[in-house]
Amino acid sequence: MVNFIEVHHATKSFTMQYHRSLKQIVIAKAKGQRTHDTFNAVDDVSFTVSEGESIGLMGLNGSGKSTLLKMISGVMRPDEGTVLTRGRIAGLIATGAGFDMQLTGRENLWLNAAILGMSRAETQRKFDEIVEFAELGKFLDTAVAYYSSGMKARLGFAVAIHVDSDIFIADEALAVGDRPFKRKCKDKMDEVRQAGTTIFYVSHAPGSVRKLCDRVLVLEKGRLTFDGDVDAGIKFLHYDDDDSTGGDSDDDGLGADI
């Protein structure tokens, strides 16, 4: 089986500043106080993902999930180690990512499609289908600056899910929107999965992870602490399916906070 994602000892560090102004920094140094700290958002993480696998990435807030996805998508590079991917990557790692707020929804559709690697001919061929999926109606020709977060999510997801990709990633994009749209996103992701696309899905919701994924990775404080069966991973996290953040409810857990 061909690996579509290979992560080897990947580490990503960030600096946390304690003071904003130069004056505060000078005073703090004069008093012998620390002015900053460095922490590893992702700390020596290694795993591989085979073609066609559906991976659920889980963990508490601040565990490094979004940072890891940004490295897989190519938005960030690891400070140490390597992150290798095969084929075209599509998806969303943040609501409204890549939008120009002064452009209309129609213009941003074309812009996002180009960013995701779609040709002009491919975008033209899929344009009506994307517009229908986004359900923006008359607001398609309104500046995105006036869109709600849910409208931005619908447009962004509609473009991303129609890209002919080898790897599809989804972070907080599915956390915004009404119930019918969340269900439509879930159905479309099921369709993409059945087509053999490799999926990397971040969620706190056990119900949606069970339905969509066949393997779970768990991050804790930047470190990979579990890699294996979905039910075992959920049990490892002590996630309660009856919790309001998304068990096997009718909402499918897609409204969970990432």
pLDDT tens string 58-95: 998 889 998 998 899 888 999 999 999 999 898 877 66
CA distances (Å), origin 9, targets 6, 26, 101, 139: 10, 37, 37, 45
Asked whether the predicted pLDDT for residue 251 surpasses 70, the reply is no
pLDDT tens string 155-179: 988 998 999 999 998 876 555 567 7
Please report the pLDDT score of residue 256 as a whole number.
36
CATH number for the domain whose boundaries are 3-12+46-237: 3.40.50.300
Residue 110 burial (10 A CB sphere; 0-12, 13-18, 19+): middle
- Six token digits for residue 152: 């931005």
pLDDT tens string 186-235: 888 889 899 999 999 998 888 888 988 999 999 999 999 999 999 999 99
Cβ neighbours, 10 Å, residue 16 = 8
Is residue 155 a contact partner of residue 111, using CB atoms and an 8 Å limit? Answer: no
Residue ranges per domain, the chain? Answer: 3-12+46-237
